Chains A and B, each alone.
Chain A
Amino acid sequence: MEIKITNLSKAYRGKNYVLKEINLDLKTPALIGLVGPNGAGKTTLMRLLVSQILPSQGEITVDGYNLFKNQHYLKERLGYLPQDFGLYDELTVEQFLDYIACLKGSKANRKKVINDAIGRTNLDGKRRARIKTLSGGQKQRVGIAQAMLNDPELFIVDEPTVGLDPEERIKFRNLFSENASNKIVILSTHIIDDVESICNRLIVMDHGIILYDGTPTELVQKTVNHVAVVELTGAEQMITEGQYRVVSRLVSPTGVRYRLVGDDLPRSSKLITPTLEDAYVYCMMKGGF
C-alpha cells in the first residue's frame, strides 16, 4: 500500500487552519509514530486519512486512487481506533466484535477472525462479558481488537495505550510492531517511549505543520551536544528556562539535578547522550529541523 498526501490543509470556518500544507509519502511496511502536543493536528490528520472529514485543500491518494472519491477502497483495508471512542455497552465483547466484523464485511471465517482478535488482545476471559462491565483498560483493548479485525493493510491508532497499565502497554506496542511487517501502522501518541521502542519513522507535528519527518535515530543525532545535566545545591538560585528547556528535575540530598536541552547551555553543565524525549523537546524548541 502507498499513501501520498499532497498539500493537505484543513481549516474550520475557512480561516482557523488546524493543518497547513502537509506533504507525506507512506509506504508498506512502516510503523510511523506521530507525536506532538495537544492541538498539533495529529487527530485531524488521522481523521482525514480515514476520510471522516474532508480537507479544505490538497489530496490524499491510496495506491493511486483519490481517497475521497474511493473511500470504499481504503475502508476495506483499514483498521482504525479513534482517540475518544465509544462501544455498545449492552453487547458482549464477542458480540461487539462480531457486529464490527459484519460491518467490515467479513464472511466465511468471521468466527476465526474474532477469536484471533480476542486472543491477541488478551480478552479471552472477557469474551462473554458485557462491555459495560469492563474496566477502562479492557475497553481500550476491545477498541484495539476491533481495529485488528480482518488484518488491515492500514492500521491507524490514536492514543492506543491510554488507560493501559505498563505491562499491557509494552505488550500492545510489541503487537503493533509485529503487525507492521506487511502494513502501514500509524501510531499517534504522547508517550515517547512507545515511539522509541517500535517506530522506524517519526513525524513530529505542532500547530498544524510537520516539524520533523525521519527516523527516531536521526532526530536523536541532531540533538547531540544540545543536552546536558547540571547539579545545583540548595543555596544556589533556581534554574530558569530561557535559552534552554528543563526536561527533568531530580531532587537529591545534595541539591537538584536538572536535565537541560538547548543551544546555549550553562557553562557548569555537563553534556550527555540525548534520548528521543530530549530530541523531541529540542525539535519543538527549535520549531523543527
Chain B
Amino acid sequence: MTKLNVLRYEIRRLISTKQYLYSLLIISLLTYDVLNRLLIGGFKGTAPFSPWSYSEFLALVISVFSVIVILMWINVFSEKEQKVRGIIFSAPITQSRYYLIKGIAIGLAASLILLVIIILSFGYYYLVYGFSDYGTFIMPMVYFICPSFLISLGLGLFIGKINVKILYLLIPLFLVIGLFNLGLPGLLDLTGGSYLFDHFNYLNLEVIEKYTLTKEFLCSRMILIVLGLCLFGIGCRIKQ
C-alpha cells in the first residue's frame, strides 16, 4: 500500500512538469499534422482509415513518443535526481524495487500521452470521415506501439543505469529511424516504418485487404517486446 503511494507521487511528479506539458503539446501538434497533411490521402493508395494508413501514422508518431520516454529517463538519471538518492536509498527499499516503481510510473505517464494520441486520431477519423470502426486499429496499435514503447522503456533504464550521457544519443537515433525510411532490418526498425515503406509494394491485394503482416516482421516485433522487457528487468537489477 505504501509503495502504491510512492508510485502515485512518482506519477504526479512526472505529469506536473513543464516537460510533460510540452511533450503533450508537441505530440498533439505532430498528431494533427501527420493526420491532416500526410494521411489525409491514405497510405500508398489505401483509404486514410485503413489499418495500413493507421500503421503509418503510428510509425511516424511513435518515434517522437519514444523520444519522450527517453527524456523521462534522462530526468530520472539527472544530477538533481541523483542527489535525492542519498536520502532515498537510506530507506528500506531495494534499488531494483525503486527503479521498478520509477519504470511503472514512466510507463503510466507515457501511456496517458499515448491515450491523447489515440483519442485525437479517433476524433479525427470520426469528424473527417464519420469513421468509428476503431476495432480495425487494434492490431496496428499492438504491432507498432508495444514494441517501440517497451524497447524505449527498457533501453532507457538499462542505458541510463550505465551512463546517462549515452541516453542522449538515443534521441536522434529514434528520430532518424522513425522519421526517415532507412530500409532497416526488422530488429533495428524500432518503429516499423521501414517495413511499411519497403514491403508494402510487394504485397498483393488480398494481403492488403486483410491487413496481413509477414511472419518475419511479426517475429521481429515479438523479439523487440521481449528484448524491451529483458532490458527493463536487467536495468532494474543493475546496481549503481
Contact = CB atoms under 8 A, between A and B. Distances in A.
Interface in A78-109: 78-82, 84-88, 90-91, 95, 98-107
A193 B61 CA distance: 62
A126 interface: no
Interface of A: 50, 52, 71-72, 75-76, 78-82, 84-88, 90-91, 95, 98-107, 110, 143, 146-147
Interface of B: 1-3, 5-6, 9, 13, 16-17, 80-84, 86-93
Nearest to B88: A103
Contacts of B82: 86
Nearest to B2: A102
Contacts of A79: 90
B90 A50 contact: yes
A82 B87 contact: yes
Nearest to A107: B2
Contacts of A95: 9
A102 B9 contact: yes
B13 A78 contact: no
28 contacts: A50-B90, A52-B86, A75-B90, A75-B91, A81-B87, A85-B83, A86-B82, A86-B87, A88-B13, A88-B84, A90-B13, A90-B16, A91-B9, A98-B5, A98-B9, A99-B5, A99-B6, A100-B87, A102-B3, A102-B5, A103-B2, A103-B6, A103-B88, A103-B92, A103-B93, A104-B91, A105-B2, A107-B2
A80 B92 CA distance: 12
A134 to B, nearest CB: 15
Nearest to B14: A90
A72 B91 CA distance: 8
A86 B17 contact: no
Contacts of B6: 99, 102-103
A82 B2 CA distance: 24
Contacts of B86: 52, 80, 82, 84-86
A99 B93 CA distance: 12
A86 B9 contact: no
Nearest to A79: B90
Nearest to A80: B90
Nearest to B85: A86
Contact of A91 (B13, B80, B92): B13
A91 B93 CA distance: 20
Contacts of A84: 83, 86
Given A104-B92, A106-B2, A85 B87 contact: yes
A102 B81 CA distance: 18
Nearest to A103: B91
A99 B90 contact: no
Scoring B3, B5, B86, B87 by chain A CB atoms within 10 A of each residue's CB, the highest score goes to B87
Contacts of B5: 98-99, 102
Scoring B2, B80, B86, B93 by chain A CB atoms within 10 A of each residue's CB, the highest score goes to B86
A99 B4 CA distance: 10
Given A91-B13, A99-B9, A107-B2, A76 B92 contact: yes
A100 B1 contact: no
Scoring B5, B13, B83, B91 by chain A CB atoms within 10 A of each residue's CB, the highest score goes to B91
Given A84-B86, A86-B81, A103-B91, 11 more contacts: A52-B89, A72-B92, A75-B90, A91-B9, A91-B13, A98-B5, A100-B91, A102-B2, A104-B92, A105-B2, A106-B2
Nearest to B239: A54
Contacts of B89: 52
A157 B47 CA distance: 66
A177 B214 CA distance: 72
Contacts of A143: 87
Given A86-B81, A102-B2, A106-B2, A80 B9 contact: no
Closest 3 CB pairs of A and B: A86-B83, A82-B86, A80-B90
B81 A107 contact: no
Nearest to B6: A102
Contacts of A75: 90-92
B83 A105 contact: no
A102 B2 CA distance: 5
A79 to B, nearest CB: 8
A76 B3 CA distance: 15
Contacts of B16: 90
Contact of A52 (B3, B80, B90): B90
A65 to B, nearest CB: 14
Nearest to B4: A102
